[in-house]
């Protein structure tokens, strides 16, 4: 019975009634989540006449690519070629994420596995820093970045990102939850160095952790508009350029919906690719615990 509802028969027997309630809960939740998303997609393909229709429709009736076409035209007229904005975004996302994952996981490994003077205080500082509003640290950060001479350069966005605290905290939790200490002790007896334990034992076993970290970092950096550090037009990012295009009132309503869809779809694609990797790991290794 339960297997027909898509539930894997595993562990204990499940009551059918419970399964039905669970399915119902998931269905309602999924509908609540998905209806606004459908509207986002549908609106991007609506002609202007349908965007202002009474009564409004959820699903587009005469889908058109006009909104995307208009967007293309505006992009082509842009003073800075659009590829440049895209390149800036890609550079920020790639290097920001790489450094964040590498430095964050190295530090997370050492504070989670080893105990040394300062390791606990360091970890508490990382967690507490998550609770301090970034708005008021803007000024000191601006002063520092100006002092380093990074104003109006992509470095100003990429390098501070390498020390983002959330990723480190995340990896340290997964090391606590997924790494069996006896595994590390065994490696130590074999004479493995910390670098080897980190790279060959810990990192492969916590793949979901750093894959999640990549998503978080991507999501954060993809939205970056350049902030207070970047003034040159040719160094601005894609979200910045797209948000400029939509500043056109009612006449650009259609384009605005197209932009919302594009900004939404790219992180989702990245997430899907990334998620398929997580599912892979689970299937093959079954977690070496």
Partner 1 sequence: MSSVVRRKQPQIGVEPKPGRLSTLFKEIAASKTYYLFLAPYAILFIIFTVVPVVMAVLLSFTYFNMLQPPQWVGMHNYVRLFLEDEIFLLAVKNTLVYASITGPVSYILCFVTAWLINELKPKVRAFLTLLFYAPSISGNAYVIWQVIFSGDSYGIINGFLMYWGFIDSPVQWLFDPDLIMPIVILVVLWMSLGTGFLVFVAGLQGLDQSLYEAGAIDGVRNRWQELWYLTLPQMRPYLMFGAIITITSSFTVAGEISTLVGFPSTDYAAHTIVQHLQDYGTIRFDMGYASAIAVILFFMMVVSQRVVQKLLNKVGE
Residues 173-212 that bind partner 1 (CB under 8 A): 173-174, 176-178, 181, 184-185, 188, 194, 198, 208-209, 211-212
How many positions of this chain bind partner 1 (CB under 8 A)?
A: 112
Of the candidate residues 29, 63, 81, 83, the single one contacting partner 1 (CB under 8 A): 29
Name the minimum Å distance from CB 118 to partner 1.
8
Interacting span for partner 1 (CB under 8 A) from 9-17, 68-76, 86-94, 230-238: 9-17
Cα→Cα distances 158→88, 92, 100, 108, 232, Å: 11, 6, 9, 20, 16
Shortest reach from residue 79's CB to partner 1, in Å: 24
Residues 230-289 that bind partner 1 (CB under 8 A): 239, 260, 263-265, 267-268, 271-272, 275-276, 278-279, 282-283, 286-287, 289
Radius of gyration of the chain from Cα atoms?
A: 24
* C-alpha 212 chain-centroid distance: 8
Q: Is 163 in the site for partner 1 (CB under 8 A)?
A: yes
Question: Of 188, 11, 214, 200, which is closest to residue 95 (Cα–Cα)?
Answer: 214
How many residues are there in the chain?
Answer: 289
Rounded to an integer, what distance in angstroms lies between the CA atom of residue 14 and that of residue 170? 32
Residues of span 119-148 touching partner 1 by CB under 8 A: 119-133, 135-141, 144
Rounded to whole angstroms, how far apart are CA atoms 31 and 207?
A: 31
Q: Find out whether 64 and 45 touch, Cβ atoms under 8 Å.
A: yes
Q: Return the structure tokens found at 112.
A: 């989670």
Residue closer to partner 1 by CB (options 47, 165) is: 165
Q: In this complex, which beta carbon is closest to partner 1, that of residue 76 or of residue 121? A: 121
Show contacts with partner 1 in window 87-106 (CB under 8 A).
Answer: 103-104, 106
């Amino acid at each position: 019975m339960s297997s027909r509802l898509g539930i894997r028969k595993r562990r204990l027997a499940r009551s059918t009634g419970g399964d039905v309630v669970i399915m119902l809960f998931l269905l309602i939740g999924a509908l609540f989540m998905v209806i606004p998303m459908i509207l986002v997609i549908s609106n991007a393909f609506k002609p202007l006449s349908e965007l202002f229709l009474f009564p409004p429709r959820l699903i587009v009736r005469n889908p058109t690519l006009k909104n995307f076409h208009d967007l293309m035209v505006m992009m082509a007229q842009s003073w800075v070629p659009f590829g440049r904005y895209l390149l800036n975004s890609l550079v920020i996302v790639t290097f920001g994420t790489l450094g964040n994952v590498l430095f964050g996981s190295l530090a997370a490994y050492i504070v989670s596995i080893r105990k040394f003077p300062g390791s606990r205080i360091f970890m508490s500082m990382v967690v507490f820093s998550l609770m301090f509003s970034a708005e008021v640290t803007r000024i000191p950060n601006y002063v520092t970045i100006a002092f380093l001479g990074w104003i109006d350069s992509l470095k100003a966005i990429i390098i501070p990102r390498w020390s983002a605290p959330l990723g480190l905290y995340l990896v340290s939790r997964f090391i606590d939850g997924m790494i069996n200490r006896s595994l590390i002790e065994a490696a130590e007896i074999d004479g493995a160095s910390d670098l080897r334990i980190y790279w060959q034992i810990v990192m492969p076993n916590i793949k979901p952790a750093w894959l999640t970290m990549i998503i978080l970092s991507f999501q954060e950096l993809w939205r970056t508009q350049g902030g207070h550090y970047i003034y040159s037009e040719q160094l601005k990012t894609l979200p910045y350029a797209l948000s400029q295009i939509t500043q056109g009132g009612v006449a650009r309503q259609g384009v605005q919906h197209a932009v919302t869809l594009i900004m939404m779809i790219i992180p989702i694609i990245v997430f899907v690719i990334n998620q398929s990797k997580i599912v892979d790991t689970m299937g093959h290794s079954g977690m070496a615990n």
